Structures are given as structure tokens and as C-alpha cells.
């Protein structure tokens, strides 16, 4: 299972970087989203998810290593909300930029062949 997760994180990261290097702004936005998904998966996988374990200390649990760490889950949830807000902001800036310049290239001008 760790190999599948590592391959998924690597594929998301490489696809995100490839899309960041593209000349169109929509592709850059999608690349940033893919990179944020890869980081979220990485943080979540470092949280040592234990199935059926309580996330906080209770009276019956004496060993802290048997608990699920709630911090990575909270970080990922916060990152998802912030990522959604920044993606919406980037889309509004993309639409405004396309309306002002007439093109959706990152540098504002199309290359002539």
C-alpha cells in the first residue's frame, strides 16, 4: 500500500510541475491544484492513520503510540479549504486578465510561429 501511495504522490507532483511550466494560465492553475493535492496526500500519509484507534487520550488508553495523530488531519482539512479559496481567486484573476489582454497566456502575448 505504501508503494501505491508513493506512486500516486509522485504522479500528482510530476503532473503538477509539468502543468506549471505550460504557457496557459488555466494549465498553471490546474498544476497548482495538483501540487496541493500531492502535498495533502503526503501530509496525510505522514500522520500514521490507524484504523479504529481513538484520536485523543481516554482513560482506557495508556500507550500514546496506539493513538491516531489528529494534527495532520486538521492540517489537511485546513489546506483543502485554503486551496479551494486560492483556486477561486486565481480563476477570477484569470478571467480578469483574459478580459483585459484578450489572451490567456502567462506572459500576456501569444507566440508567433
Query: Looking at the domain assignment, is residue 87 inside a domain?
Result: yes
Q: Which domain holds residue 72?
A: 2-48+68-101
Number of domains observed in the structure of the chain: 1
pLDDT in tens, 58-83: 666 666 666 777 788 888 899 999 99
Determine, yes or no, domain membership for 108.
Answer: no
Look up the CATH number of the domain holding residue 93. 1.10.287
CB 82 within 8 A of CB 70: no
The reported pLDDT for the residue numbered 62 is: 67
pLDDT of residue 85: 94
Does 113 map to a domain? no
pLDDT: is 6 or 108 the higher one?
Answer: 6
**Distance between CA 38 and CA 32 in Å, rounded?**
10
- The single-letter DSSP state of residue 105 is B
Residue with cell 488531519: 73
Cα separation, 56 vs 108, in Å, equals 52
- Residue 17 has a CB neighbour count (10 Å cut-off) of 13
Residue 74 domain-assigned (yes or no):
yes
Q: Nearest Cα to 7, choosing from 36, 45, 33?
A: 45
For 39-52, the pLDDT digits (tens) are: 999 988 887 666 67
Q: What is the pLDDT of residues 90-111, one digit of tens each?
A: 999 989 988 888 888 887 676 6
Q: Which residue has the cell 504522490?
A: 9
Q: Judge whether 61 lies within some domain.
A: no
In a domain, 57, yes or no: no
Amino acid at each position: 500500500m505504501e508503494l501505491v501511495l508513493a506512486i500516486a504522490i509522485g504522479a500528482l507532483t510530476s503532473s503538477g510541475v509539468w502543468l506549471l511550466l505550460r504557457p496557459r494560465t488555466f494549465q498553471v492553475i490546474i498544476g497548482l491544484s495538483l501540487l496541493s493535492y500531492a502535498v495533502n496526500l503526503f501530509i496525510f500519509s505522514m500522520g500514521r492513520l490507524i484504523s479504529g484507534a481513538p484520536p485523543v487520550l481516554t482513560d482506557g488508553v495508556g500507550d500514546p503510540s496506539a493513538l491516531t495523530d489528529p494534527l495532520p488531519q486538521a492540517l489537511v482539512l485546513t489546506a483543502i479549504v485554503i486551496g479551494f479559496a486560492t483556486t477561486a481567486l486565481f480563476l477570477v484573476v484569470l478571467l480578469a486578465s483574459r478580459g483585459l489582454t484578450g489572451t490567456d497566456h502567462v506572459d500576456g502575448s501569444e507566440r508567433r510561429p
